[in-house]
Amino acid sequence: MEMNLKLDTLLEFLRVNKLLTQPTIGEMNKDFVITGFSSIYDSKANTLSRMEAQTFEWSSIKSAAVLCSLNAVVPKDAGIVFIPVENPRDTFAIVVNEFYPKPALTGISDTAVISQNNVQIGRNVYIGHGVIIGDNVCIGEETKIFHNVVIGNDVSIGSNCIIHSGTVIGADGFGYQKNLQGEYVKFPHLGGVQLGDYVEVGSNTVIARGKLSDTVIKKNVKIGNLNHISHDVVIHEHGMITHQTHLGGNTTVMQNSWIAPGVILKQGITIGEGSLAGMGSVVIRDVNAFDTVAGIPAKPINKKDSK
């Protein structure tokens, strides 16, 4: 999708938001129009790219403008406008989110199957092909639910959420107890699922309903692809759950924590505020706030700065 962004408009945006505090490098035409974004390694004409502290064969870069680090040594005569910022990666993401045109997805597919029993759908919601929605479901405004998502009974999804294809929200979890004959039987899952505003859930992730209480995913939590969130889990604000993780039942993940790919969290533990569980860790004990843990079983490897 093409865009039309004047270079002068981009620079003014960066200055207003205090992202640009130094002069640009290279000859600049303020009326030049940027039509898209591209990787510095596969740069395209008339686009904006980013670089860290690398050096390049400058003649190979086709981008019109490049976000670079404050200490980058770059040529003034390469036909490129270099824009020095403190953090090129973060600044590039901010610019893309601000200026790249977003497709207007609204409406409900004819192939969606939606219960007639107490389902509330907010304004400007998108529901894709093959979506199934159960009883007692509330979906907030501007939320997007992509193809083949299954939403069970007693699920609340906030506003401005994104649920990617193949995800299941509100299925029973793995909960069994022995009956009088000593055989394992399913323990009824009587709770639901609550998702706060601005939650994003990746493809083919499962979020199980609670047993007696709800499974709760709070505001602005981001969950990647192929994860399993067990019954009665609570993930607090701004939690980041990457890919292929397993969160055992009754686990609590406090705000601003990061769960790396392949992590397993034992049921019932608490992951402290601002902490990080490293890739492939098996976490079997509580993690203190701002700690980084890694390994099998996971152990603290350094303490993060609480600031």
Q: What are the catalytic residues?
A: 231
Residue 127 belongs to what H/E stretch? strand 126-127
Question: b/e per residue, 225-237, with b = 16+ CB within 10 A?
Answer: bebbbbbbbbbbe
Contacts of 13 (CB under 8 A, 6+ apart): 95, 98, 99
Distance of CA 104 to the CA centre of its chain: 20
Token output for 177: 């107890």
Paired residues of 48 in beta bridges:
37, 65
**Contacts of the segment 46-50: beta carbons below 8 A, 24+ positions apart:** 48/5, 48/10, 48/92, 48/95, 50/88, 50/89, 50/91, 50/92
Helix pair 88-99, 7-16: axis angle to 10 deg: 120
Looking only at the bridges linking them, the beta strands covering 107-108 and 126-127 are: parallel
* Burial class of residue 98, CB neighbours in 10 A (0-12, 13-18, 19+): exposed
Q: How far apart are CA 204 and CA 209, in angstroms?
A: 16
Contact 144, 164 (CB under 8 A): no
Token output for 25: 């490098």
